[in-house]
Structure 1
Amino acid sequence: MPQHEIHTKPYYLVDRTPMPPGIPSVPEVGATSAPLTSASFFIGARCAPYNDDFMLCHAQSKSPQTDCLKEGRRVTRCAISVLEDINKHCPSEFKAHWECLEQRNHELEKCRLPETYLNKCVGQFLNLTKTIPDAEGVPVHLRNVKFT
């Protein structure tokens, strides 16, 4: 049974169990929810193949918590690379957008202007576009939604 060290900070748990041999180490992403939300579509765009491999492994494995660690590490490394690239090429646009999300309780519709600048910068420098699933190419805020 793994030994856990519990700290006084809420929701803070350190598992000291070493990783199995053959599983490469990977640093933590180290981002809070606002930057991750801001970059999520770009992470999804670049990391889709790694995420698909991880999800396939997870669906087919009898014990995915241990069998899919390598695939999970690849997803984490990819996400870190996207965040690093956005911070390198679009630092002010990225910061403006995630700070807006943080200040407005992650309500995306209240941060469309900084999002527009971020999307343009990331598209220009990283060649990544924000694609919303099932939106048929129309941004969510421009769709005509009919309620019945």
Structure 2
Amino acid sequence: MASRIPQFNQQVLYDTTPLPDSIPKVKELGASSAPLMSAAYFIGARCRDYNDDFMQCKNENPGKGEFECLKEGRRVTRCARSVIADINKSCLEEFRKHWTCLEDNNQQLWQCRPAEWKLNKCVFENLGLKKEIPDQPPNVTPVHLRKQMIYAHWPIPRSAEPFVPPTQTGDNNKAPAAASSSS
């Protein structure tokens, strides 16, 4: 048996030292994991440049990136706050249904595809953001657009259809092709 009597510190410590003025002030998101997971692809779509700057800073400052990259991290947080606020303004009902489903189903995305499709449609129509999985092979149906989920607790209703954003066609795509063929 142990001869030492265990001693536990029940006091919570807070560091009250203010951050330097060089680090921009930003309110935290105040969201749990389910709303963040629900909005993650939209945050990634709008905040990609800020995320890339933050990751580049962390790669350039190995071991001390947490301190050197606070400014970039605050920019990411500010951008994510704006996405969450815009989704709450434009698609609150769909957003709440999706993240509640995630919370009730242990964060398993495949359990909540019909609610996700409605959220994707609303966010695309109101904010112009679409869910895209990075490095998705072009000849494979993305997992979030499949109508049959192998591990789902219940089948997806036949009436539910995945939302597929329209592809850009027209003059915007013709100009770069014409420019590249002339060079």
State the TM-score bracket (shorter-chain normalisation): 0.7 to 0.9
Partner of 1:83: 84
Amino acid across the alignment from 1:36? L
**Offset of 1:22 from its aligned partner?**
1.3
Partner of 2:125: 124
Q: In the comparison of the two structures, how many residue pairs are matched?
A: 134
TM score, norm. by length of structure 2: 0.69
Once the two structures are superposed, residues 51-93 of structure 1 have per-residue CA deviations (whole angstroms, 9 ceiling, x without a partner) of 0000001110252122111100100000000000000000000
Gaps of 5+ in 2: 1-9, 148-183
Say which SS state the counterpart of residue 25 (structure 2) adopts.
Answer: coil
Does residue 68 of the first structure (1) align with residue 69 of the second (2)? Answer: yes
More relative contact order in 1 or in 2 (CA 8 Å, sep 6+)? 1
> 1:50 touches 1:74 (CA, 8 Å); kept in 2?
yes
TM score, norm. by length of structure 1: 0.84
RMSD: 1.9
- Runs of 4+ residues deviating >6 angstroms: none
Amino acid across the alignment from 2:118? Y
Say which SS state the counterpart of residue 47 (structure 2) adopts.
Answer: helix
Call closer, same or farther: CA 1:70–1:95 in 2, change over 3 Å: same
Partner of 2:142: 139
Partner of 1:146: none
Gaps of 5+ in 1: 8-12, 144-148
Call closer, same or farther: CA 1:134–1:17 in 2, change over 3 Å: same
**Offset of 1:6 from its aligned partner?**
4.6
Q: 5 Å matches for 1:93-108?
A: 93-108=94-109
Indicate the structure (1 or 2) with the bigger Cα radius of gyration. 2
CA distance in 2, matches of 1:36, 1:109: 16
CA distance in 2, matches of 1:97, 1:57: 33
CA distance in 2, matches of 1:70, 1:110: 37
> 1:6 touches 1:14 (CA, 8 Å); kept in 2?
no
CA distance in 1, matches of 2:23, 2:89: 29
CA distance in 2, matches of 1:65, 1:85: 28
> 1:96 touches 1:114 (CA, 8 Å); kept in 2?
yes
CA distance in 1, matches of 2:24, 2:39: 25
Identity of aligned residues (%): 56
